[in-house]
Structure 1
């Protein structure tokens, strides 16, 4: 009986040893890069017809904030621009009239100066015609100065119009990547605000299995290394997938573990990511194993 007991212990020991050789090198969970899309403009969400799990593409419009106020503001600014620009037309007409007046007065001025040289005109006549010329020239100078003021006013309106049009463009909430809608934080009709999260997107075509390895294992791991990834098929079987080491942490970190001894409970490890193509079987948060 004692000998039989010893044989059973030896057999169990052999099975345990065989099982340890087949164990994976590291364990972890699948994750992906997630992007939070936020609103840039405050207003009511008047369009938001996406659902969880929808496939979206980069630049696709996901939602629309109410544009009524901005559209009216742009209309008002365009009307102001038109009104200010019309002032330049009137000023050009004034300039032409003043230039013609100066031209005619110049002829009269030359005649009076010539008569004065021949002693046929008085000094008073010369002073009068010269004074009129100075008045007309100052009027022309003043009119031309008003062009500068109008142009400056138009520049201000152009800047305000550009700001309003930029805000109008930002009313469209667009996707920042190709991916899948993972979370919705708002619903149609709710008030959006700058920086307020609207949706969370993620790329599920490839997922990263984040695992932690010890310093002893690190020497055998290289970037772009092909590895075997295992996921649960059922309670007793695994499925094998092909993965590639895409990232290795350059710094060690402490990872708490539920182990009895203090020495093993906090252990120095390195994070490693294995990129795996997703054929639909992988989900975010799913556990996985890797053999290097």
Structure 2
């Protein structure tokens, strides 16, 4: 009888052990998010930086600025230079005003002689001389207008490089404003107010945590069960022996095998070759970067115990 009881106990222990080691998921891994390191786009001292780690910030929000005094003064100098150059442009109307008056008198004389010739009170030769005078004054006006136009154009061209430099300074001034590029959560802050920023220096790291990526690993046996665009179920721990389920979409499957990362599964299973895959999941606020998750192909209830 003791022998029978012993066999029964060993059988029960064996069944319990098998149940404990049973893998009821098809892939597992850790959550990550697309992270963006926001760099400084200008050189100078950071005068304002309104952000803290863990803060959620919308895209386009102004977070601060880098000192702009030197750039602003340089722009004022270039604007003054351009104004000084353009002040030399001739006033065409004033420059040719006297010639226009001469032309008016010459035309009046021409009209007077036309009437006199009609009445035989003047000779055609006198009328020809008056007409020639009108034509001469007109040519002088055309020449003066052409000369003044060339001068104005030359001065305008002289200011063109100055305006290009002003536009460049405007671009640099815009880049002194620290504007958040994407909606997300601040993961790390690398600088503080009054520190020196240089172009390309990281200011902070941000990630869009509303759409999380589960980087899971699947064995070669189950690799054929997954396809890009396939809908799957993702489980994360929710208390002891319970899971919280999410709908996920497979958006990438690696075509190259690799050893399982050390953070996944047991020591023996880490020695196996697996394939990486990415599953996109909408985050309700519960999921965190680095949290463990598992993928199942068969549907489950919202909570399993």
What TM-score, normalized by structure 2, do the two folds share? 0.75
Correspondence for 1:170: 175
The answer to whether the Cα contact below 8 Å between 1:39 and 1:195 also exists between their aligned partners in 2 is yes
Deviation at 1:179, TM superposition (A): 0.9
Structure 1 residues 221 and 285: alpha-carbon distance in aligned structure 2, compared to 1, 3 A threshold: same
Aligned with 1:189: secondary structure?
A: coil
CA distance in 2, matches of 1:150, 1:98: 24
Post-superposition offset of 1:10? 1.9
Contact 2:96–2:141 (CA under 8 A) maintained in structure 1:
no
* Counterpart position of 2:15: 14
Q: In the TM superposition, what is the alpha-carbon distance from 1:250 to its structure 2 partner?
A: 4.6
User: What is residue 54 of structure 2 aligned with on the other side?
Assistant: 53
Residue 227 of structure 1: aligned partner:
233
Distance in 1 (CA, whole Å) between partners of 2:90 and 2:47 is 42
Distance in structure 2 (CA, Å) of the matches to 1:161 and 1:51: 35
1:243 counterpart = 2:244: no
Deviations 1:243-271 (A, max 9, x none): 3124122522312456878x972514232
Which stretches in structure 2 are left out of the alignment for 5+ residues? 110-123, 126-134, 298-305
Single out whichever of 84-93 and 152-161 deviates more from structure 2: 84-93
SS in 1 for 2:88: helix
Distance of aligned partners of 1:264 and 1:224 in 2 relative to their CA distance in 1, 3 Å threshold: closer
Matched with 2:214 is 209
Residue 180 of structure 1 deviates from its aligned partner by 1.2
1:173-202 deviation per Cα after TM superposition (whole angstroms, max 9, x unaligned): 111111111111111011111111111111
Distance between the aligned counterparts of 1:164 and 1:98, measured in 2? Answer: 45
1:122-201 aligned at under 5 Å gives the runs 141-201=146-206
Q: Deviations over 1:214-257 (max 9, x none)?
A: 232123224241314122524xx233221312412252231245
* 1:30 equivalent in alignment to 2:31: yes
Question: Is it true that 1:283 corresponds to 2:288 in the alignment?
Answer: yes
Q: CA deviation at 1:105?
A: 8.8
Q: After the TM superposition, which residues 265-280 of structure 1 pair with which residues of structure 2 at under 5 Å, given as runs?
A: 265=271, 267-279=273-285
Provide the secondary structure at the position in 2 that maps to 1:76. Answer: helix
RMSD (Å) for aligned C-alpha atoms: 3.8
Q: Which moved more, 1:162-171 or 1:246-255?
A: 246-255
CA gap of 1:106–1:7, structure 2 versus 1, over 3 A, is same
**In structure 2, C-alpha distance between the alignment counterparts of 1:92 and 1:73, rounded to whole Å:** 35
1:143-186 CA-to-partner distances (Å, cap 9, x unmatched) read 32211211212322322221111111111111111111111111
Equivalences for residues 110-125 of structure 1 within 5 A: none
Deviation at 1:43, TM superposition (A): 0.9
